[in-house]
Structure 1
Amino acid sequence: MPAITVDTLTLPRLADAAPAETERTVVSVTTGPRAYEGEGFPVVRAFAGVSSAALDPFVHMDQMGEVEYEPGEPKGTSWHPHRGFETVTYMIDGLFQHQDSAGGGGLITDGATQWMTAGSGILHIETPPAELVESGGTFHGIQLWVNLPAKDKFAAPRYQNLEGSATALVSSSDGGALLRVVAGEVDGHTGPGATHTPITFAHATIAPGAQLSVPWRRDFNALVYVLSGNGTVGPERRPITGGRLAVLGTGDRITVAADAHGQDSHRPAMEVLLLGGLPIREPVVSYGPFVMNTRQQLIEALEDYQAGRLGVIPDDALMPHVAGSDR
């Protein structure tokens, strides 16, 4: 279950739609394929099959897990570089430990987010802490890549640790849905994440039979990703379920409804992510951990990494823990 859960009846509520507001219709629904990342943890490639123009300013998103690890099974990533964008790791359940070459780091736990601006270049690692590797347990989160415009591609690296308690909480107009705003603004409620690129990133829990109608900036794109559960999206009530992404058209509001029956057995409600941002509309050339504007910039990023100019692994470097060992 998501860690940040409260009584929606005590929260401020989203405003009902005004007569002149229009709902965003569904342009497409895609299903993310399953794969493995890092040292072998399971992910759903949420954006697979969707055009970069529809995603802009987002580049990539993985749903990590949901998986129930046995002792010794939890896995993460080893040290690796990034340049030209921001990585957002949102932990819904479980623990993840972060360290980077710019001095950022900490334990990301239930409901918390680590927001790392790679900018001009950085090395980092994300791995389960030793206690989770030894004990096993639930692991479920999101990693999102947010593009940076050309003017910010070489910004100084930055790390933000956003505790779950700092997340802005608001309920639907009928109290049937809880919305957690991690970054950006929804109906006057602003999340704690500071971003170079204007975006909104929010996580909603929608009770069976309830509907969430969210005001949305007209100049933002709009994406709805279902983490788990079953329901519909848009005024046409297009069916959508776990692991699927809906791209929406223009308009003033996003509408998602949860089916009254048939939610996932291990979760009593529908869980969805709402994503949107101001499109950058610049060339995007990416290769592995680098997201740049030109092929020459990619070559330079690789050369800089090989020459050690993207950072140095610190002497007290965090390393992946192996069950039954001291490291």
Structure 2
Amino acid sequence: MKKNQIGKSDLYVSELGLGCMSLGTSESKAKTIIDHALDSGINYLDTADLYDQGQNETIVGKAIRGKRDQIVLATKVGNHLKDDGSWFWDPSKAYIKKQVKDSLSRLQTDYIDLYQLHGGTINDPIDETIEAFEELRQEGLIRYYGISSIRPNVIKEYVKKSNIVNVMMQYSMFDRRPEESMLDFLNENDISVVARGPVAKGMLSDYASEKVQGKGKDGYLEYSYDRLLSMIEQLNTLSNEKAMTELALQYVLYHPAVASAVAGASSVEQLDNNLILKEAPALTQEMYQQLKEITYPIKYDKHR
């Protein structure tokens, strides 16, 4: 599978990443999915300390034992878990430096390749947060760091003040907000985008119509239910022999800023559906423009 460089780092990630949040809590099932992903050329695994209250990191750690050198391992921090299972936002230096040790223990590794702030607001102690990540780099506990955010004002602060190598952001044909200003801006600054949600909760998968009736019955972002159905119908007509999943993944990867599209998988079958990307012929510029004409850009109305 094609691999792309993350920013100016020496991390090269598969253009299709495995989002681990959907793995579930069965260790054997998760291991089967992760093994299949690695055998198929995926080397980028993305988890977070929040997923299943830390259990996801534990399951991933067990699944990759003995295979750590094959993997670019990413996790996230910032959601402070409480004993009752609730959480609160905590981007403080003290929490980040404590929590990384818990993540390392659960993941059964000595280092994290890509440590990401799991959100962020303009009112955070951003300088303090950056200081925490920089110290973790110096200590060898993380190799690089980034943020997971869709907020332009927050992203710009980190680009200006820090050494982030990536921004993870929600991006799909149904959520084109990053195209407004962020993709070009990050590309100009040699910072990569990792796209999450590229199939829009399955509404851009090969079961699109069925998923829209469920996930999109009350609309999605600025799209009404009827608009979603109309776009799916047009996309199906345009796709011809291409699968919807293939189109969705190729669309987000078309922009040079995007290094990897991270898609979850709760089964080997679902993973195989995403792996169609491996054999897909390149998306032409003409097809890319047609896809943009069928959908329409959504603008940020907050966090300016």
TM over 0.5: no
Higher percent of residues as helix: 2
- TM-score in terms of structure 2 length: 0.29
